[in-house]
Structures are given as C-alpha cells and as structure tokens.
C-alpha cells in the first residue's frame, strides 16, 4: 500500500476490501475522511457541503483542479455500493461539478470523475475524484482512475461496477 502525505493508511487494504461491513467503530474514529466530513480536521477546508456529503481539495493534486467528494457515512469503497447507492453517486457527481463551476470551470466535457478500486486506494472511505482539465491530469492518475459508468452486473444482481469509460451514469435496470 502506498502511503501519501503522511496520512495513516491501512496495511491491510486487501483484507479490508473484502469486508462485508461498511464501517466499524475503530475505522470511523480513525478515518481521516470521517474526521474531515465531521469537521474534526483543522487542516482541511471544506469547499462545499450538503447534509450527507462534503467536498474538499485533494492533498496531493493530480490536476490544477482536483477535489474529493466524500459521504459523511463511512463506506469503505466502491465495491460496497449497490443499487440503493445510485442516488448517492449521482449526488456526489453533482456536488463535484458544482464545485468545479464555483472554481470557474465551465466545460463539463473536459473533466473526469471517478473512484479508485481496492486495493488501489489510499484512504479506506468512499471518495469521488473530481479533476479538470483532462489534458492536465497526471498520467499516474489517468491510468489508475476508473471513470464511473454504473451498469448492472448480471453475475451479481443488485451490485454496480465502476468501469473505464467516458463519464456517464446509466441507471441499473
């Protein structure tokens, strides 16, 4: 597991990615994104928030505009998402786009929104990367980011998968 910016990162990301539970008391108490979402991290400025989401700058930006949208609820990763989370993912995307507009970005075709898939995550809390412009995204991020296209997996009813593609949300049928 690669540590970034001296933030605590689990040594057991692979094990945690298979957890059935969204959270446990110890994880929520020590999760940096839970601390940020609950305004207990004085180093992070929240740019925009709703009752269940927050958006802030990525601590290690891979583009001139690189923000993270996280739910206040502790969800470990995109692998724990299901049909019931479609609205959450849509609201995360909307909040990210709203922040880009607030920052003067008007071309919504020149952005990338996406999740990293375990074990390639630095923080075990669902977070949507919001990046612009696409031409200035670092190659490392471009390679490792999976753009969200929500589609039904026939082998796992009710689950969603994050696939590499242009950004769009196709609702599960």
Q: What phi, psi does 78 have (nearest 5°)?
A: -65, -20
Q: What residues contact 51, with CB distance under 8 A and at least 6 apart?
A: 72
Distance CA 6, CA 4 (A): 6
Looking at residue 167, the DSSP 8-state letter turns out to be: S
Catalytic residue among 74, 116, 127, 129: 127
| First-to-last C-alpha distance (Å) of the chain | 36
Distance CA 105, CA 120 (A): 28
Catalytic annotation present for 127:
yes
For every residue of 127-156, which 3-state class applies, written as one string?
CEEEEECHHHCCHHHHHHCECCCEEECCCC
* Residues annotated catalytic, as ranges: 127
């Amino acid at each position: 597991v690669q540590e970034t910016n001296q933030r605590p990162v689990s040594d057991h990301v692979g094990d945690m990615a298979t957890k059935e539970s969204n959270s446990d008391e110890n994880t929520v108490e020590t999760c940096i994104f839970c601390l940020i979402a609950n305004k207990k991290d004085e180093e992070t400025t929240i740019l925009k928030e709703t009752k269940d989401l927050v958006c802030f700058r990525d601590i290690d930006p891979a583009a001139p505009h690189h923000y993270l949208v996280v739910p206040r609820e502790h969800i470990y990763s995109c692998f724990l998402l299901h049909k019931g989370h479609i609205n959450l993912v849509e609201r995360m995307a909307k909040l990210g786009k709203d922040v880009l507009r607030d920052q003067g970005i008007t071309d919504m075709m020149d952005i990338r929104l996406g999740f990293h898939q375990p074990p390639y995550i630095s923080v075990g809390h669902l977070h949507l990367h919001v990046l612009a412009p696409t031409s200035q995204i670092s190659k490392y991020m471009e390679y490792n980011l999976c753009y969200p296209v929500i589609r039904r997996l026939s082998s796992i009813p009710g689950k969603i998968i994050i696939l590499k593609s242009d950004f769009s949300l196709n609702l599960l049928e």
